[in-house]
Amino acid sequence: MNPLGLLSSLGSSICWGSFFVPVKKVNVANIWQLQGATGIGVILFAIPIGFFWGFEILPSGLLSGAIWLSGNILALYSVRLIGLSRTSPFIAGFSILISFTWGILFFEEKFNSMVLAIISIGLLLSGLPFVSNAAKSPVIQKKGYFFAAASGLVGGSYVIPMQATHSLQSGFFSSSLSIFIIGIPLLIFSRRWIKQEIIAGTMSGALFNLGSFFILIAIPLVGITVAYPISQTATLFAVSWGVLYFKEIVHRNSILKISAGAVLILSGAALLSFA
């Protein structure tokens, strides 16, 4: 297994596990404003990368950006309803399932041991309920979980158009441009120009695109069936932010559950790298 691919997947995990933190810090007040500001951060990061990967406008990249934007809007609604600690595990679980399915059925990616790969995915997914159930939220709304699950299903597919057309890195600018172009009308529509929230959204977008940068390096090296599930250990970082910084958990029993979930998730990610 390529070490650079694994390290890039881990880098993506750290970035994606942290990119909701700025918007959570200012509270998810207006989804459209935050999404529009996120688009600004995405394009600001993409421009310097474009000098290396190109500024070509590709349909596959534009489609990938639109898919991600849809998933992120769903995720923002979920964070507002049920909090970061509950949203992230649900997104990760469904993203892992959908990306693994794409890799096996559509791209026909192979493992040295399919049994070990399935066990690894099982460990990853089995750890998520521990992490999710340990977090607290004042009012848990069913539609919050629905938004999180839908976001995972959509988000787990966002790189597929670029991978299917062999344009992962060359499509990076296109996907970023798509997020920016769609996001600006949303920002205008929100009629909110609060400086603090726009800065938070911009930081969030830059963190997301840094994670995308890492995952687009990783996928050609280790495949989507390995890279994407490892990147979804981002839930550990997201839940850590929710627990340690935003104080979404208070009970000792819940902390123990989170620790158990973390061990299962990390074990699954480690096994998958050897499958």
Q: How many domains does the chain have?
A: 1
72 pLDDT higher than 70:
yes
60 pLDDT higher than 80:
yes
89 confidence band (pLDDT: 50, 70, 90): confident
138 pLDDT higher than 60:
no
17 confidence band (pLDDT: 50, 70, 90): confident
Distance CA(115)–CA(254), nearest Å, equals 32
Residue 183 confidence (pLDDT): 93
What domain range is 180 assigned to? Answer: 3-272
* Percent residues over pLDDT 70 in the chain: 92
Distance CA(78)–CA(238), nearest Å, equals 14
For the chain, the straight-line distance linking the first and the last C-alpha, in angstroms and rounded, comes to 9
* Percent residues over pLDDT 90 in the chain: 32
Best-predicted range by mean pLDDT (140-154, 212-226, 258-272): 212-226
Ramachandran category for residue 166: left, alpha or beta (phi over 0 → left; psi -120 to 50 → alpha): left
53 in Cβ contact with 173 (< 8 Å) = yes
Give pTM, 2 decimals.
0.82
**Which of 208, 218, 245 shows the shortest CA–CA distance to 43?**
208
Residue 250, number of CB atoms within 10 A of its CB: 9
Least trusted range by pLDDT, from 42-56, 65-79, 239-253: 239-253
38 in Cβ contact with 183 (< 8 Å) = yes
